[in-house]
Chains A and B, each alone.
Chain A
């Protein structure tokens, strides 16, 4: 139901409310045919209660491939963002697909114009090789945990030993290792076998104010 909102009264009963849609937690690389889950959020511009609102996911051809219902959960740090989790299945052929989430349609009391958002689904071949990265501070050689390791589209975060593992397809990549307050390391790598590498990061210089 609509909240007590002054603007709502001005809008009038026949004008559908605007609803905005958000989709996140989409894995950056998904193996062909693999099932994965994403989060979907919908917010009415007038902060209507969207519990039981419908959500639908459409693939790159416009086919409805999944539906869901907003269970009434609100996303922390926001007002009026209703969230659902939806399970999807990746296509069987590798490539980058653009899918779309839509909602909430006419499924809640007050009419809402259907909102939508698109997101990318990166489908990859079954990974061939294991890449192990060990990340340390260049000066004191202390392992850096929580560092981001990116070999697009593969991503990982280093553990408490400063280690991260990526299973990647054979090919040429730029390996990025980045950590808060450190200079990002960028390294071209050719992967044609399992490999391991050590990333020694330097602290970013302190900005001088004078």
Chain B
């Protein structure tokens, strides 16, 4: 068992050089490249005199990173590349965070290497990218100054009359624009393959195309170095996903070539692979509970306290294990302390799964029934705002808290019935599927013509054809459907006409249906007046008419998110008995269905104006079904204020020495997707490694 006391810098560098080749064991059964970080065994008396009254540090490293996701992994690799020893702590059993279940779409820009590759009409060195470029040269041509203006444009209003760029932190976005090139290059140097530039992400800028999606080529085996993924690991359509890729990897032939499979697994797994290869150490199943600073509101941050947070299979009770093990430190002690010699980087994700925290933006979201995307993948402690809260406890300021309101998928209805997390369409095959229980019945918008949607007392509240509709996401090529008077290259940055009353009047298109869903109703009780669950009600005829698959794994007979019954009365009783968050009877359900059927007979819906946008269908053929239609809090905006160096800034506007943050743990940026977090991670890793000890 290797134990190492604190060593001088020279020794650390020597250890670092050996990091890749050495494979000592820290704990029985868990391999770890010890050289990268100076480790002690948890529970031993290797005490250091800390300014916070003799904390016994169980582990230490130059850079301690909280969260192995979209900020943490690039930060870890970057810090290792610059010679720092790195420990990454993650509350989950497997690295990747939300990035692992993402679409793998990365908008950068400012003249990044992929924009230049497409401008030149070139492919990649491996010959995987042979699809023609999707944009004209002019749509790809820009520089960091142009990107910076795009990301801080006060004038842009989206179709929900929100201003997604106006409130972005200027210093942060200057640094973002200046580091996009290096970040794209960094990704490619760490086994990440990306296809052609195709449009831009929501709130990724109005004026140029900047998005590329990550891919693997389907091959006989999964081999990150070769860039291949097996068919099994990539997922079988409608049947299975895998531990490697929690969501089915989609066809990527349009952006790369035939056989390409795309999504976030093609980003998260390469970064994880590279981090492990370079000697980053992972302490998984470990939730950060506290950041320790010399004094609560002054001095450097010196380390963290973290508690054991194993994930267990909900059926067998067996602990879940990471896909790859090299570099793992398997420590099952309840509480450990980890010292950070140089810096701590918070990449712990956002606050989307913390009902108390998120309710500061919207009281209705104190409803605990509703979860954040990736709920099963990340477990009950994912996206719990712990990174933000820990930063606040040592004096950090916040930024961009109101920007949760400026992106359409922050909270929304994905239209996936019969599952608690409607965003993540996970199929069986991933170890966390047992927690989820059902993939969900994923309906396109037009399929809502076959059902009605009711609140917790069984009353309709909106035109069902509009329930899942949402507006927002002002991004290239934009145009009137995104709230802007001009489209594509015709968009004019910083032009007052973009924000004119006339433009907003003519482009506003937000139905606000989700707010009707979250509204108080007769079942809401003081003090929180929660909306309660939301139910889609339909019948056998709907299932047959629109060819829905309501069998497992799309639904579960036991997880309480799907019910069938011979009559509406029986259905209401089953929901009350079987759904965890159904706190009151669906008193009005029978009356609501009868009323709906009378509207169908009349051909019009006097309550919510259905019948003008789609045909109406009676709900009368048994068996009857109820499936949850849950909203999801997908991505969160607002968090720790960071500056352009990704340093966390305190209430006096000063950086907290040694403390960095990025991604959804940070605020002040309203860009959707992975680009923001990756750049933050790259910047944080760079600057953290350069800190003094």
Q: Give chain A nearest CB distance to B197 CB in angstroms.
A: 15
- Given the complex of chains A and B, what is the CA–CA distance between A159 and B602 in angstroms? 27
A24/B620 in contact, CB under 8 A:
yes
A178/B446 in contact, CB under 8 A:
yes
A41/B601 in contact, CB under 8 A:
no
Q: Which of B547, B570, B611, B620 contacts A180 (CB 8 A)?
A: B547
**Using an 8 Å CB-CB cutoff, how does the interface string of B585-607 with A read, 1 for contact, 0 for none?**
00000000010011011110000
B567/A178 in contact, CB under 8 A:
no
**Using an 8 Å CB-CB cutoff, how does the interface string of B616-657 with A read, 1 for contact, 0 for none?**
101011110000000000000000000000000000000000
Residues of B within 8 A of A22 (CB): 566-567, 620, 622
A181/B444 in contact, CB under 8 A:
yes
Q: Does B82 contact A (CB under 8 A)?
A: no
Q: Does A36 contact B (CB under 8 A)?
A: no
- Given the complex of chains A and B, what is the CA–CA distance between A208 and B414 in angstroms? 10
Residues of B within 8 A of A152 (CB): 603, 611, 615-616
- Given the complex of chains A and B, what is the CA–CA distance between A78 and B104 in angstroms? 43
Binds B, one of A136-144, A162-170, A182-190: A182-190
Q: Does A80 contact B (CB under 8 A)?
A: yes
Q: Give chain B nearest CB distance to A64 CB in angstroms.
A: 21
Residues of B within 8 A of A96 (CB): 601-602
Residues of B within 8 A of A25 (CB): 621
Using known A-B contacts A43-B567, A152-B615, A184-B615, determine if residue A119 contacts B622 with beta carbons closer than 8 Å. no
Using known A-B contacts A43-B570, A184-B449, determine if residue A208 contacts B103 with beta carbons closer than 8 Å. yes
Q: Which of B247, B449, B566, B600 contacts A78 (CB 8 A)?
A: B566
- Given the complex of chains A and B, what is the CA–CA distance between A177 and B102 in angstroms? 35
The interface size of chain B toward A, counting residues with CB under 8 Å, comes to 48
- Given the complex of chains A and B, what is the CA–CA distance between A78 and B601 in angstroms? 26
Q: Which of B103, B565, B567, B598 contacts A210 (CB 8 A)?
A: B103
**Using an 8 Å CB-CB cutoff, how does the interface string of A94-132 with B read, 1 for contact, 0 for none?**
001010000000000000000001111010000000000
Residues of A within 8 A of B620 (CB): 22-24, 26, 119
Q: Does A20 contact B (CB under 8 A)?
A: yes
Q: Give chain B nearest CB distance to A137 CB in angstroms.
A: 15
Q: Does B425 contact A (CB under 8 A)?
A: yes
A204/B446 in contact, CB under 8 A:
yes
Residues of A within 8 A of B6 (CB): none
Residues of B within 8 A of A118 (CB): 594, 598
- Given the complex of chains A and B, what is the CA–CA distance between A21 and B568 in angstroms? 9
Q: Which of B415, B547, B567 contacts A20 (CB 8 A)?
A: B567
Residues of B within 8 A of A184 (CB): 446, 449, 613-615
Residues of B within 8 A of A43 (CB): 566-567, 570
A186/B613 in contact, CB under 8 A:
yes
Residues of A within 8 A of B397 (CB): none
- Given the complex of chains A and B, what is the CA–CA distance between A98 and B611 in angstroms? 20
B444/A204 in contact, CB under 8 A:
yes
Q: Does A207 contact B (CB under 8 A)?
A: yes
Q: Which of A18, A75, A120, A210 contacts B105 (CB 8 A)?
A: A210
**Using an 8 Å CB-CB cutoff, how does the interface string of A31-60 with B read, 1 for contact, 0 for none?**
000000000010101000000000000000
Residues of B within 8 A of A120 (CB): 597-598, 600-602
Q: Which of B446, B594, B613 contacts A117 (CB 8 A)?
A: B594
B103/A209 in contact, CB under 8 A:
yes
Q: Does A12 contact B (CB under 8 A)?
A: no
B622/A204 in contact, CB under 8 A:
no
Looking across the interface, which residue of chain B has its beta carbon closest to that of A77? Answer: B623
- Given the complex of chains A and B, what is the CA–CA distance between A207 and B598 in angstroms? 33
- Given the complex of chains A and B, what is the CA–CA distance between A117 and B620 in angstroms? 10
Residues of B within 8 A of A98 (CB): 598
- Given the complex of chains A and B, what is the CA–CA distance between A208 and B261 in angstroms? 15
- Given the complex of chains A and B, what is the CA–CA distance between A57 and B133 in angstroms? 67
Residues of A within 8 A of B103 (CB): 208-210
Looking across the interface, which residue of chain B has its beta carbon closest to that of A181? Answer: B444
Q: Does A81 contact B (CB under 8 A)?
A: yes
Looking across the interface, which residue of chain B has its beta carbon closest to that of A20? Answer: B567
Q: Which of A26, A75, A122, A176 contacts B622 (CB 8 A)?
A: A75
**Using an 8 Å CB-CB cutoff, how does the interface string of B525-551 with A read, 1 for contact, 0 for none?**
000000000000000110001110000
B446/A182 in contact, CB under 8 A:
yes
A180/B447 in contact, CB under 8 A:
yes
Residues of B within 8 A of A176 (CB): 614-615
Q: Does A197 contact B (CB under 8 A)?
A: no
Looking across the interface, which residue of chain A has its beta carbon closest to that of B202? Answer: A210
Q: Does B491 contact A (CB under 8 A)?
A: no
- Given the complex of chains A and B, what is the CA–CA distance between A21 and B570 in angstroms? 11
Residues of B within 8 A of A86 (CB): none
B446/A24 in contact, CB under 8 A:
no
A122/B567 in contact, CB under 8 A:
no
A77/B614 in contact, CB under 8 A:
no
The list of the 8 closest CB pairs from A to B, nearest first, reads: A120-B601, A210-B103, A78-B566, A81-B566, A152-B603, A150-B615, A20-B567, A176-B615
Q: Which residues of A contact B (CB under 8 A)?
A: 18, 20-26, 41, 43, 45, 75, 77-81, 96, 98, 117-120, 122, 148, 150, 152-153, 155, 174, 176, 178, 180-184, 186, 204, 207-210
Known: A22-B567, A120-B601, A208-B103. 20 other contacts (CB 8 A): A18-B569, A20-B566, A20-B567, A22-B622, A41-B566, A78-B623, A81-B622, A96-B601, A98-B598, A118-B594, A119-B597, A152-B603, A152-B615, A153-B601, A178-B449, A180-B546, A184-B446, A207-B444, A209-B414, A209-B425
20 A-B pairs, CB-CB below 8 angstroms? A20-B568, A20-B569, A22-B620, A24-B618, A24-B622, A26-B620, A45-B570, A75-B622, A75-B623, A77-B540, A77-B622, A78-B623, A81-B566, A178-B615, A184-B614, A186-B613, A207-B442, A210-B102, A210-B103, A210-B104
